[in-house]
């Protein structure tokens, strides 16, 4: 009789086993599938000829020694990542910048283009360029201009004071040098100073050359009173100088430039003065006796 939906019989165990049997065997078969051995790269047999062949290399399937992209060994992939990392690129860029700066500085030291004056420093500005510069430069504030002028005035006054101090110092040093030189010259001449006896011998010979032998005693006495026959005798009150006591002493320069120290020059000038005024030493001595000067 037909069964209702509510009174359907449960399937027996044998029927359940029959139904589930094929499915379980399929699962076992599926689980038991093994991975086939590595295949040769396509076209490898045709290139190399008949076997035997070396084991298949997944990183070089074509046997060319160069693995395709995406199939590089792990070590090479690490090196590639290291070379393309941001840190490596940054370090390389910094090194390149430092090298460029060093090269620029070396070029400057060895005399590159920096030794040449800038183009605008050569004085070749056109009128338009000058007007552009004047237009671009704004007028200075009066307060700022006054400050600049005050600074320039202070600098100028300081410069003047420094120059005055240097000049004064130079004058003192020059005076000191002149004084020292005069003292040294005086000492040198003192060593070369002839004696009064030697000067008298010169006087006697030169007086005789004038033809005044008879007046030699008068000349000897006259200049004994005047200078003691000392070629460096000087009167502190009048300034008369030398054996004949010329006033001023520079008058004797007409007889020679060495009038300060030369006995013959002084004697020659004195004899010329006596001849012009008193004709001979006898007349000069006679006048001196009455006036204490000649």
Position 71 scores a pLDDT of 53
Confidence of residue 236 (pLDDT cuts 50, 70, 90): confident
Structure tokens that stand for 162 in this block:
């420094």
Higher pLDDT, 99 or 240: 240
Structure tokens that stand for 59 in this block:
């990183």
pLDDT for 253 beyond 80: yes
pLDDT for 241 beyond 50: yes
Whether pTM > 0.85 for this model: the answer is no
Position 279 scores a pLDDT of 92
Structure tokens that stand for 267 in this block:
């004697």
Does residue 72 form part of some domain? Answer: no
Number of domains present in the structure of the chain? 2
Please check whether residues 165 and 214 belong to one and the same domain: no
Collapse the DSSP code of 246 into the 3-class scheme (helix H, G, I; strand E, B; otherwise coil) and give the result: strand
Cα(73)–Cα(67) distance, integer angstroms: 8
CA-wise closest residue to 273 among 223, 233, 228, 224: 223
Last residue of a domain, one of 157, 192, 227: 192
Does residue 171 form part of some domain? Answer: yes
Higher pLDDT, 265 or 133: 265
Bridge partners, 57 (sequence order): none
Does residue 257 form part of some domain? Answer: yes
Domain that holds residue 172: 149-192
Position 108 scores a pLDDT of 58
Q: Is-contact 206 264, C-beta < 8 A?
A: yes
Confidence of residue 99 (pLDDT cuts 50, 70, 90): confident
pLDDT for 163 beyond 50: yes
Please check whether residues 183 and 200 belong to one and the same domain: no
Indicate the average pLDDT of the chain. 75
Q: Is-contact 65 82, C-beta < 8 A?
A: no
Give the range with max mean pLDDT: 19-28, 59-68, 133-142, 212-221.
212-221
Confidence of residue 2 (pLDDT cuts 50, 70, 90): very low
Position 104 scores a pLDDT of 60
Does residue 88 form part of some domain? Answer: no
């Amino acid at each position: 009789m037909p069964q209702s939906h509510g009174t359907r019989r449960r399937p027996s165990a044998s029927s359940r086993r029959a139904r589930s049997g094929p499915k379980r065997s399929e699962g076992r078969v599926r689980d038991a599938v093994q991975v086939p051995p590595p295949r040769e790269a396509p076209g490898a047999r045709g290139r190399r000829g008949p076997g035997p062949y070396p084991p298949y290399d997944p990183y070089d399937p074509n046997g060319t020694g160069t693995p395709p992209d995406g199939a590089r060994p792990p070590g090479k992939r690490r090196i590639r990542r290291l070379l393309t990392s941001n840190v490596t690129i940054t370090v390389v860029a910094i090194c390149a910048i430092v090298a460029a700066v060093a090269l620029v500085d070396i070029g400057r030291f060895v005399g590159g283009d920096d030794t040449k004056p800038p183009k605008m420093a050569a004085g070749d500005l056109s009128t338009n360029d000058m007007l552009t510069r004047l237009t671009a430069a704004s007028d200075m504030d009066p307060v700022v201009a006054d400050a600049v002028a005050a600074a320039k005035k202070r600098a100028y006054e300081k410069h003047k004071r420094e120059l005055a101090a240097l000049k004064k110092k130079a004058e003192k040093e020059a005076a000191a040098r002149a004084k020292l030189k005069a003292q040294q010259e005086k000492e040198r001449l003192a060593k070369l100073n002839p004696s009064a006896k030697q000067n008298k011998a010169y006087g006697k010979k030169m007086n005789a050359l004038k033809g005044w032998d008879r007046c030699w005693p008068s000349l000897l006495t006259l200049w004994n009173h005047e200078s003691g026959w000392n070629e460096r005798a000087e009167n502190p009150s009048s300034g008369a100088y030398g054996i004949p006591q010329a006033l001023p002493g520079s008058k004797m320069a007409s007889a020679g430039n060495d009038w300060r120290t030369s006995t013959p020059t002084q004697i020659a000038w004195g004899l010329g003065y006596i001849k012009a005024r008193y004709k001979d030493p006898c007349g000069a001595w006679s006048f001196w006796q009455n006036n204490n000067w000649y």
